[in-house]
Structure 1
Amino acid sequence: MGAILTYLRIMWQFSPPRTVLFFTLLILSSVTEGVGLILLVPLLGVLQDTGSPLSGPVAHLVSALKSLGLPLTLTGLLGAFLAVTVVRAAIQYSQTIVSEHFRLTLLDALRAKSFDAVVAAQWQWIANSKRSDLSNLLITEIDQIGSGLFFSIRFLVSTLSILAYTLVAFSLSPGLTAIAIILGAVLLFTMRGQHERAQRLGRITSDANKHVQQVIEEGLAGLKLTKILGNEDRHSQLMLDIRTTLRDRTLGFVKLNAATGFTFQILVATCVVLFLYLGAQTFALPIATLLVLIVIFARLAPQLRHIQTHINQISFSQAAFNNFNALMASTARSSETVVDEPQSPPLSFGRAISLRGVTFRYEGRKASVLNDITITIPFQKTTAIMGASGSGKSTLADIITGLLSADTGDLYIDDVLLTPDNRLAWRRSVAYVAQDVFMFHDTIRQNLLWADAAATDDDIRVALQKASADFVFNLPDGLDTIVGDSGMRLSGGERQRIALARAMLQKPLLLILDEATSALDVENEARIRRTLDTLHGDLTVIVIGHRLPTLENADQLIVLEKGQVKSAGQWHDIMGQPNKH
């Protein structure tokens, strides 16, 4: 019941008016169903012409029909029964549409909420998370939560139907109905172990789904390596093994529900036979009453079976809901506290970017990646950062962009301390080009417009020319060329030049190139270098790398070694040779 109450609370929190409408339709459906059953008693009495006196709810209903001027004849009662059935069918139709629209809208909101929570999380949290687990939750497990919500709704429908049947049956034979209630409660109680097993299977299946998602994503991302290594069969076998595991878990749950249904059918049929025997022999009920009770018990039997199945399904979905709650709690703890409005102006500067005593360590590592870094990046100058692999160059870039926050130390933009309150405003002033360029499976134009959705074709042309990416205009489809997944239809050098154009289109105050020319040939690297020369004095540039031709024209050089500043100063003082500036 705890899971069902949780789903009801979610429904209420999401939309109280829709929840009230849903329950109103549910109650009206149950009331009309009860009225239809009660009408069977006088209807059968007329058919048998017994003339038996009416009592309880049946007598009240007959009085109400008389006050409405409805003749208590066969035609009148049949007409009333048909009218009630039509009304109930219309209510159930509306209830189905309302509940399903409510469920789908709520799922969309949960999926958007979880995705927004991931996007709003700190970069370090995102980097430490397994991407396949996040995509599995956003796709598979949100759908599983939808299944739990659906069966919670069906549970309520079945419960109110059972309540309506029970009230009518109780009005006809309190003693027999009391026996039925006791036996029904005993049946549900004895099946509680099935619910625990369903919950356990749900956890196992959730883990299997995560593994499947991981195998699929890594398999598709590593297809080139798989083919180069000739491991197609191994990869196919891995996929087969994990799918077999998932199938076995799913079949286990299906078998559980089938076994529950099998057991319930036998037990309920036994109870119905017992009720009829007691009704005819012990309670000596009139034939009309007994026939109505037969109809009620016949309808109660599948509803009880449905209740048990619904509880199993809800228990099965509990793992997905727990994972959703865990994600929301984790992202809440790691969320970026951003106070500035999305449309607030970028954080500008006119003198320097200063790092003062910055130290940073990744979670799970003992050693710090950066140790007491104190450097100054002068305004509208070019700064080169060199160092061996693992020296902390990219981490330093992430600190400067505001993606990572220092464990100790401060970052100043002029005299303004970078804090969670102004972090987004600063990022809007920074453009970043990484060694591993990401591109969407879309056109070149749309990939560029991520930097500035309002950019014109002229703006795009200028940016491409500055980035030595005017090869785009010689492609058959030009700017409308589809680049493929992660830009795989383009060469590495072409991707990097388009990424640089995207950065230029952003019109940043600070441009960071993190090994951004590593995939370029000598000719195109020279063209990028000339582009950087034209930007000198107009834009603050940080170039991270190890290829000297790109770095040697920098105004200052910072050399990192094991997370510390080994040397900092002008190029000729450190490298022993002059530069061209």
Structure 2
Amino acid sequence: MIARLLRLSPSVRRRLAGLVGLLLAITATYVGQGVLIAQSLARIFSGQDAASIVWPVAGIVALQLVRSLALAVREGVALRTSARIKKELRRRLTAKLLMLGPGWAQRGRTGSTQSSLVDGIETVDAYVGRFLPQMVAALVGAVGVTAFLFVLDPVIGVVVLACAALMPVLPLVSDRVLKERNDAWFRGYKGLYAENLDALQGMATLKAFNASGRRGAELARLAETFCRDSIRLMAIVVLYLGGVAFVIGLGTAVALGVGAMRLVAGELTVTELLLILMLTAECFRPLRELESAYHSSYNAVPSLTAVFEVLDAPVQPQGTRVLERAGPPAVTFDAVTLTYRERAKPALDDFSLDIAPGERVALVGRSGAGKTTVAALLLRFFDTIDGRITIDGTEIRDLPLEELRSLIAVVSQDTYLFHGTVRHNLTLARPDAADAELEAAVRAARAEFVHDLPQGLSTVVGERGLKLSGGERQRVAIARALLKDAPILVLDEATSSVDAANESGIQQALDALTGGRTTLMIAHRLSTVRDADRVIVMSEGRIVEVGDHAGLLDRGGAYTRLIAAQEGAAS
């Protein structure tokens, strides 16, 4: 993990080296301060006057000023270093998530994924800014100070080294218990985050069913469990920190005791004993700060592991072929089979369909028949298990995803608008679209209502477009598809949220939009497919009837039963 983090930004290694240098400089000021204090005390104990310690005291003050400056610089460098890593991680994660697509995102919960990606990246501050440089500085600093003690007195050096060697043993003992409890804490945190986000997004539904109180009680129970996990984790951390403090106190006490005995035996001077007293504490200080940095960044290990799992997730293979656009293309589904995860029954089962260039084909059937799956496979949100999909004879796996999706415009039943202006949502289709082109798309989609909004095209539509009605969102989506002007058009019940007064006008716009394009219409409202060139009736992932509207009605088969059921429900 450390090597991967260091490779994210070329300047990180230099900055970390600078941080290590600053930490060593801080350690040097502590050591120098300890030496000057020991010398000052030795002079006072020997009966010298106050004038003899003026320069040592001035040196102590100067070292404290240098240390204060170094600490301030260290904080700034640490934040800038971790910020570079976080920026690069976010860039790579955004690119990777866009490559993985909605098929991958649907495998987990939004809140759980968000907590891993957002909070996981934020742990970089403690891990890169504090722990990594402190790890090197602690080793070098502790070895340097211990070597100095060896020079003063080899016996004291061995005693301090023996106690210092106990410090790395403590993490090995605590990690077994700490890892289990830390994993439980992280799972609880992600789960609580996901449940609270779910409740917030579904607030209207909870209120409508008078279930907000029950949901609140469930969240309270989850929060209580998370609180217990947090307390259990902190109990281990407190015991660990207590063990660290004990080892440091033990090392200092043993070194001082041995030094006192050697002073009585005439093997040490008072000045040397005072130096040992001061420097023993400085030998343990870098190790103590390392342990503090380690535990402040402990959550970074599972969090960054989750981040790297996303970065390492396999992406759909892409080809390099580019289609020449000479008109509406042919689209072919050849013996396609797909089964979703955690489902035994296939969503599509040996599905074959040839769509001629410029043909308008409607897919109809009961919910769960596999209609929307056909569109998802065409866009490569998922890949087929068996079979192949081609555009003008070229398998879509041989096309770059960006090239494939540039060929297709979509108006879906579940219209999604981003928190931004109407203009921003429209220009997702074509960022370079001129105002005249935007206006033409708005008129064609019968979306002139945008001119009545407070700021027109510059009006912010709110999160998920909630400041607009369902029909208004649908018309903005239709205008967006018109603006893209792609040769293949997918309409997933494009008029589902439009009122009857506007449906005919929008249907006319859609009829004009489908002209000269290969069109796949996924229809639940069967009145919208009367003018389709072909109607494909689906059931349980298979095609059960094919024909035009009039011909299928004459047969009196599955299509006729769908029409009858829908008309009966309407009446």
Q: 1:328 aligns with which of 311, 316, 320?
A: 311
State the alpha-carbon separation in 1 of the partners of residues 166 and 432 from structure 2.
67
Which residue of 237, 242, 252 maps to 2:232?
Answer: 252
Alignment of 1:78-93 (within 5 A): 87=66, 89-93=68-72
Q: How much has 1:238 moved relative to structure 2?
A: 2.2
Mapped partners of 1:160, 1:259: distance in 2 = 27
1:16 to 10, 13, 16: 13
Q: Aligned residue for 1:66?
A: none
Indicate how the Cα distance of structure 1 residues 189 and 534 shifts in structure 2: closer, same or farther if over 3 A, else same: closer
Maintained 8 Å contact 1:340/1:424: no
Is 1:207 matched with 2:187?
A: yes
Q: Which is worse superposed, 467-476 or 159-168?
A: 159-168
How far apart, CA to CA, are the structure 1 residues paired with 2:231 and 2:245? 21
The Cα offsets for residues 80-111 of structure 1, whole Å up to 9 and x where unpaired, read as: 66666655554444333222211222123223
- Corresponding residue for residue 60 of structure 1: none
Q: Does 1:505 align with 2:500?
A: no
C-alpha distance after superposition, 1:132-190 (max 9, x if no partner) = 22111111222235433333434444444333332322222221121011023235425
Aligned partner of 2:280 in structure 1 is: 297
Are residue 228 (structure 1) and residue 175 (structure 2) matched?
A: no
Specify the alignment match of 1:238 in structure 2: 218
Q: Equivalent of 1:379, from 354, 357, 361?
A: 357
Residue 48 and residue 126 in structure 1: after superposition, are their counterparts in 2 closer, same or farther (change >3 A)?
same
Say whether 1:124 aligns with 2:119.
no
Pairwise CA distance, 1:499: 0.9
Partner letter of residue 309 of structure 2? A
Q: Deviations 1:439-473 (Å, cap 9, x if unpaired)?
A: 11222222112112222332222112111211222
Residues 359-370 of structure 1 mapped to structure 2, 5 A cutoff:
359-370=337-348
Q: State how 1:125-524 maps to structure 2 within 5 Å.
A: 125-149=104-128, 150-186=130-166, 188-190=168-170, 192-283=172-263, 284=266, 285-329=268-312, 331=313, 333=314, 335-340=315-320, 349-524=327-502
Shift in CA distance, 266/291, structure 1 to aligned 2, threshold 3 Å: same
- Aligned mates of 2:7, 2:495 — CA distance in 1: 54
Cα distance change, pair 535–143 in 1 and its aligned pair in 2 (3 A): closer
Cα displacement (A) at 1:361: 1.9
Note the residue ranges of structure 2 that are not aligned, 5 or more in a row.
556-571
Superposition deviation, residue 258 in structure 1: 2.7
In structure 2, the CA distance between the partners of 1:199 and 1:541, relative to structure 1 (3 Å rule), is same
Cα deviation for residue 254 of structure 1 reads: 2.9
Which residue pairs with 2:564 in the alignment?
none
1:522, CA displacement in angstroms? 1.9
393-402 vs 370-379, greater mean Cα deviation: 370-379
1:317 partner amino acid: A
Distance 1:171-1:88 versus aligned 2 partners, 3 A rule: farther
Rounded to whole Å, the distance in 2 between the matches of 1:267 and 1:116 is 47
Q: Which moved more, 1:140-149 or 1:429-438?
A: 140-149
Asked if the contact 1:382/1:554 (under 8 Å) is kept, the reply is yes
> What letter is aligned with 2:217?
Q
- Of 148-157 and 460-469, the range deviating more from structure 2: 148-157
Say which is worse superposed, 306-315 or 37-46, in terms of deviation. 37-46
Q: Letter of the 1:229 partner, please give it.
A: F
Distance 1:377 1:567 in 2: 15
| Distance in structure 2 (CA, Å) of the matches to 1:346 and 1:25 | 59
Work out the number of aligned pairs and report it.
547
**Does structure 2 retain, via aligned residues, the 8 Å contact 1:355–1:375?**
yes
Quote the residue 1:7 is aligned against. 2
Cα distance in 2 between the residues matched to 1:474 and 1:512: 29
Correspondence for 2:563? none
* Identical positions, percent: 23
Displacement of 1:438 in angstroms is 0.9
| Structure 1: gaps (5+ residues) | 1-5, 52-72
TM-score, with length taken from structure 1: 0.85
Shift of 1:383: 1.7
What is the TM-score with the length of structure 2 in the denominator?
A: 0.86
What amino acid maps onto 2:278 in structure 1? V
Which residue of structure 1 aligns with residue 78 of structure 2? 99
Counterpart of 1:463 in structure 2: which amino acid?
A
Match of 1:573 in 2: 551
Alpha-carbon distance in structure 2 between the residues aligned to 1:348 and 1:245: 62
Q: Which amino acid aligns with 1:430?
A: I
Deviation at 1:537, TM superposition (A): 3.3
SS across alignment from 1:490: coil
Deviation at 1:211, TM superposition (A): 0.7
Report deviation, 1:504.
0.9
For residues 61 and 208 of structure 2, what CA distance do their matches in structure 1 show?
72
Alpha-carbon distance in structure 2 between the residues aligned to 1:279 and 1:295: 12
Matches of 1:387 and 1:272, distance apart in 2? 80
Tell me which moved more, 504-513 or 399-408.
Answer: 399-408
CA distance in 1, matches of 2:400, 2:327: 13
- Give the distance between the partners of 1:348 and 1:287, measured in 2 at CA: 95
**What SS is found at the alignment partner of 2:106?**
helix
Q: Which residue identity does 2:151 align to in structure 1?
A: S
The C-alpha deviation readout for 1:494-540, integer Å capped at 9, x for no partner, is 11111111111111111111112122222222112211332353333
Counterpart code for 1:11: L
Name the CA shift for 1:309/1:20 in 2 (closer, same or farther; >3 Å): closer
Who is 1:534 aligned against? 512
Residue 393 of structure 1: how far off its partner (Å): 0.6
Compared with structure 1, are the counterparts of its residues 77 and 12 closer, same or farther at alpha carbon in structure 2 (3 Å cutoff)? Answer: farther
Counterpart check, 1:108 vs 2:91 = no
> For 1:77 and 1:519, how far apart are their aligned partners in 2?
82
- Secondary structure of the residue aligned to 1:121 is helix
CA contact (8 A) 2:117 2:306 kept: no
Q: After superposition, what is the alpha-carbon deviation per residue over 1:267-315, rounded to whole angstroms, capped at 9, x for unaligned?
A: 5334423322221222542112222222222344554443433344444
2-structure distance, mates of 1:9, 1:454: 37
Which residue number corresponds to residue 569 of structure 2? none
Q: 1:120 to 1:191 in 2, by over 3 A?
A: closer
Q: Quick one: which amino acid aligns to residue 122 of structure 2?
A: D
The superposition leaves residues 313-371 of structure 1 with CA deviations (integer Å, 9 ceiling, x where unpaired) of 44443222332333333x2x2x1333559xx8886654522222222222332222222
The amino acid across from 1:268 in the alignment is I
The one-letter amino acid of 2:127's match is G
Give the Cα–Cα distance (whole angstroms) in 2 for the partners of residues 190 and 374 of structure 1: 64
Asked if the contact 1:381/1:537 (under 8 Å) is kept, the reply is no
Quote the Cα distance in structure 1 between the aligned partners of 2:4 and 2:70: 24
Q: Name the SS of the counterpart of 2:123 in structure 1.
A: helix
